[in-house]
Amino acid sequence: MKIVIINGSPRKNGATAKVLNEFAGQLASKGADATMFHLSDLEMTFCKGCCGCYKTGQCFLDDDAKMLSKTISEADGLIIGTPCYVSDVSGQLKAFIDRGHFVFEQLLKGKHTIGVVTYENYGGSLAYKTLKSLFVFSGAKTVDKLIIKTPFGSNPKAGPQIASKAARLHSSIKNNKSSFLCGIINFFVLNFGIKPFVRKKGEAYQGVLQHWEERGIPHRTI
């Protein structure tokens, strides 16, 4: 069982990182291979908006964003954590979302996810909304969430919550559980939103169809 944990904070020892480290420990204790990536450690260029990846299936920028997307594609589960900055996710995380080939390529198809947000004053639920939209639009099975109000840079006292949610993620992956509502939303987003759009693009989106074939997503009919 492989689980990728992404720390979207620029701080490697801040509140978000501490929560994610505890998730990693809980999952490891259950035998899962949980690997954490700090976006602040990675070499990652901003998306250039060329749309070339939709045609070729690959980004021309050869950096750590490509490596991390590939690692996610090979995992069973994903936890993304971010502090709330200006009522949304961190800039580092947004930059990776733009580069990660998530939505059109359905990177998270069948993967079990948890979103984590730490905030001090306001906007935690708004930042989580960004994560939830990313998960749902990318084909994920959303398992749980953790939104913690805590002073900046503190050590959140959330051990019991983290243990419970880590256990739920582990069980969801092990038993391949999925909520009925999540499945319905994924179905409608993909088949009535993404597929018609991609099909209209024709040759310009051949790279997207290539990713669908690799992930067992039919695209000949809608």
Closest-CA residue to 42 (of 15, 63, 73, 16) = 63
Give per-residue pLDDT as tens, 179-207.
Answer: 888 889 999 999 999 999 999 999 999 99
Phi/psi-derived region of residue 127, left when phi > 0, alpha when psi is between -120 and 50, beta in every other case: alpha
* pTM for the whole structure: 0.95
Give backbone dihedrals phi and psi of 154, rounded to 5 degrees, phi first: -80, 180
Q: In the prediction, which pLDDT does 181 show?
A: 85
Q: pLDDT tens digits for 8-63?
A: 999 999 999 999 999 999 999 999 999 999 999 999 999 999 999 999 999 999 99
Spatial separation of the C-alpha atoms in residues 170 and 129, rounded to whole Å:
23
For the chain, helix (H) and strand (E) counts, in that order, are 9, 5
d(C-alpha 100, C-alpha 208), whole Å: 13
Residue with tokens 């989106």, as numbered in its chain: 205
C-alpha 26: how far from chain center: 19
Q: List pLDDT tens digits, range 96-129.
A: 999 999 999 999 999 999 999 999 999 999 999 9
